[in-house]
Amino acid sequence: MRHTDPISYPVGVAYVLPGLGRGGTEKHVLDLASRLDKRKFTPCVISTAESDAMEDDFARRGIPVRRLPYRGISLRPGKASALLRQARLFFHEFARVLEDRNVSVLHAYLPAGNVLGMAAALLCRTRVRIVSKRALCRYKEGHAVYSFFEDLANFAAHAVMVNSRAVAQDVRRTERFAAGKMFLIYNGLDIARDFPDDGSRMPPDIGVASGDPAITYVANLREDKAHRCLVEAARTVVAAFPSARFLFVGREDREAASVRAKIRELRLERNIVLTGPRKDVPAILKSSCLVAHPGEQEGLSNAILEAMAAGIPVVASRAGGNPEAVSDGATGLLVPPGNPDALASAILQLLRDPAKARTMGRAGSERARQRFSMDHMVTAAEKTYLELLEGKPLACRV
């Protein structure tokens, strides 16, 4: 791709997501959009959901959000005409937003956002089109339609952003039309803002008594997050530390009923707390003994990076981009995915050696500052946008 037209500043940038629920990707977009140099870029967000939990968060940071609900595709006979009308109206409204916002860069996230965003940007001939890959591709196994549409989105995109080398490797293995287009930008944290040294304490409504060891897992309750593996590990940990409390912080999605059933089966109701989504996650993390993260399809977990920034050691599965975040034996411990015995053993190792846990926490905080800063993430994104606008080779290419 090579453009000869001069760049007109500020450049309109549209971030496209299939919703603004509280999750790592949505927070990443919030942080990135709100920190772009406003002399060079004017960001907005397009959400294809009916309602958005984080819309007010974007508004408070001055980022306009436009909701364009898209109900999905029906394959039922007789629905073709309604589908065509819906799609025509949707893309007409989408084009109007891109035109009104003078968008030259469309940056899409998550599978549905990638597909819908690229279709709209292609129709509107948007100057720069970017899709993002932030997790491993196992969700597409057995779903050829998903792969087909995401491959089309890759074909339409000028660039494919990944957040870890593990994701880049997985995309090369499982997807088409991404080779030669991928660039790597690690997730970033604003450590000074989000994790001040203010003596934060565990929120009292969670019910963790002073002195009780708290093991926290921040993740929405989905199958790929492996909460049940941690529940099984908790049984072994609680046998050695009866006062231990496991905090599952996140939205109760489709896996919630199964997780609750496993907790009841193992009689761990007193030791495992499902807190739901929280806005005081930094305080919870800083008051925890350690963070567990057994997820099996992570690209680069914001929750792990946040734990490191808070100075808390991490026990995580050796999966996806986790080894790029956690330095095994230095900032935390890595265990085989799907292995509750190994997970419990690593947790117990740190609970039995608080001095070692504190040393790992300090090392993790320093690693987060050096490798995963917000400034680095934003600067890399801005540089990549300009490189694409100017048709230059990508400095962050992988």
Q: What is the model's pTM? A: 0.91
The 10s digit of each residue's pLDDT in 81-109 is 777 888 889 999 999 999 999 999 999 99
- Intervals of the chain under pLDDT 50: 74-75
CA–CA gap between residue 10 and residue 244 (Å, rounded): 52
Q: Choose the CATH number for 191-371 among 3.40.1190.20, 3.90.1150.10, 3.40.50.2000, 3.40.630.10.
A: 3.40.50.2000
**DSSP, residue by residue, 189-248:** B-HHHHS-SS-----GGG-PPTT--EEEEE--S-GGG-HHHHHHHHHHHHHH-TT-EEEE
Common-topology check for domains 11-188+373-390 and 191-371: yes
Phi, psi for residue 46 in degrees, rounded to 5: -115, 120
> Which DSSP letter does residue 67 get?
E
Provide the 10 A C-beta neighbour count for residue 280: 15
pLDDT for 188: 96
CA angle 355, 360, 365 (to 5 degrees): 130
Give me the residue spans of the domains in the chain.
Answer: 11-188+373-390, 191-371
CATH of domain 11-188+373-390: 3.40.50.2000
Q: What is the pLDDT of residue 51?
A: 80
46 pairs with which residues across the strands? 16, 66
Is the bond into 10 cis (omega within 30 degrees of 0)?
Answer: yes
